[in-house]
Structure 1
């Protein structure tokens, strides 16, 4: 780890003024410190936020919740309002990392975690996200765990987190304070950027801009489901995940593990009544998988079907059953 200056902020308003050029904010540090040890990240300064006033969960005037940037994942997942009204968020958080990491990881840090693409983590290999202009080794290399949609010829890394997938399906918003002291609100749908030709720029945050909170709108109701397919049962990132809120009026769906950002396509939700195949055909219409990760498209369909099976008889009919019914109808069989 390279040497750096260490500064403590006593409150959120003070923090942007303390941050020097080339500095980083430090919260839980569960991702940043690992990257510093590997010298993938080498900030000249760390501004420690852990004494600042960003660790509360409060109700908003419209019945939603405001979650401070420093709220630990464990606390957020266990909060009574979250468990009762935003269960998809609680389930997504508990599907990630380990208990020890969740005890330390923060809401803002979780949103800002970086890809686990093996080419990003190996400094001997080319990676445009780590070193712009060096190339993307994954394009012709090992890509089984990487993105199938939203990619570019410069990067096929995926966003690894679980929490943000649930926040996307809930239409959360992110509050920030800029370096000049001004504040703004960013819809979570607009927070993460697709790689294009600048994969090293992963969010819309400006230099020195600090996340202060995340706001959840009033509860949606319906059944909340978070399903995650991974290589082992725990402490593993998603190959594919799906966050869903299902009600008699339809469904909201967001996918994880498949794109450089949590992936939600509202036009796919409109095809919910047509079955899982129709939903995923629409959600992944522009997919560009590699030979190694094309299986993710079928895995996504299977997870959507599992959500349908779990959320009630009105949506539980399998695609296979729909096909059999259509074939029987064509043959004059009973519908």
Structure 2
């Protein structure tokens, strides 16, 4: 037998290349303003740790004593007088109970001492305010984005651009097809009976009554709008109340001829100049009379195509609110929607 070594029949292990070592990115150096970022996270982010803890474990008399005297002095200015020891309530001299009191009965001073009463941190009012603070952080009411919204809202209130759309305008946008339709010639107006039923007892209130009681005033803009489906047209025109007769309370209104909708700017100011051509004037006593006058001036709807129904819902009153300044860029001189004549009539009837 040969002494020659035998070969192994086992397959040799395959060579595997070593996997490359991925170098870990270097840890980003801490920013110099990281304490500021942490404070911003704590006080403004909804993920702040302050929203998940018992606030009384953090804000208490023990933590107060850990503060420096300078910090305590600054924070004391934010606390009410009742938070300090030695506070004595003092009635104002105008209070009825102080009429029979004498000078010797009054305490020497109603001002508290500089020593803080530790029980303020366990007071139910203080804890309620602290919990509300946590809720505001969680709800993002203290975030920068919410602060920007508040600034935008306040600016809109001051310049008058934030007024919400009137409910009638919202309704018209969602129900354009059904907005005061006019029936074909010879057919009964479908809205007449409906308007009478909705108006109820308020239908007895006349336009002259609204003028007499100051519901509508000189300087108000009365905006007309009706959808005439039979001629496929929407007629819109503004009229401004120039005068109200002192005895009959008939309205004298100004409007532009033809299809011009809005009035010239010099008639919309608080001290308007005298009207000149081509501005026209008319005297009316009912909304239907004003509607027919507007349609006569406009000229696009013939008398045979006009409705016989109620016109109170077709007119919207626009009026200044407070001391709002005139807006040269506004087609109604900065006035705001005050409601339809139908709405104002109903409000007057049920409020009187």
- Normalising by the residue count of structure 1, what TM-score does the alignment of the two structures yield? 0.19
Relative contact order (alpha carbons < 8 A, sep ≥ 6): 1 or 2 greater?
A: 1
Higher strand share: 1
Higher helix share: 2
- Normalising by the residue count of structure 2, what TM-score does the alignment of the two structures yield? 0.19
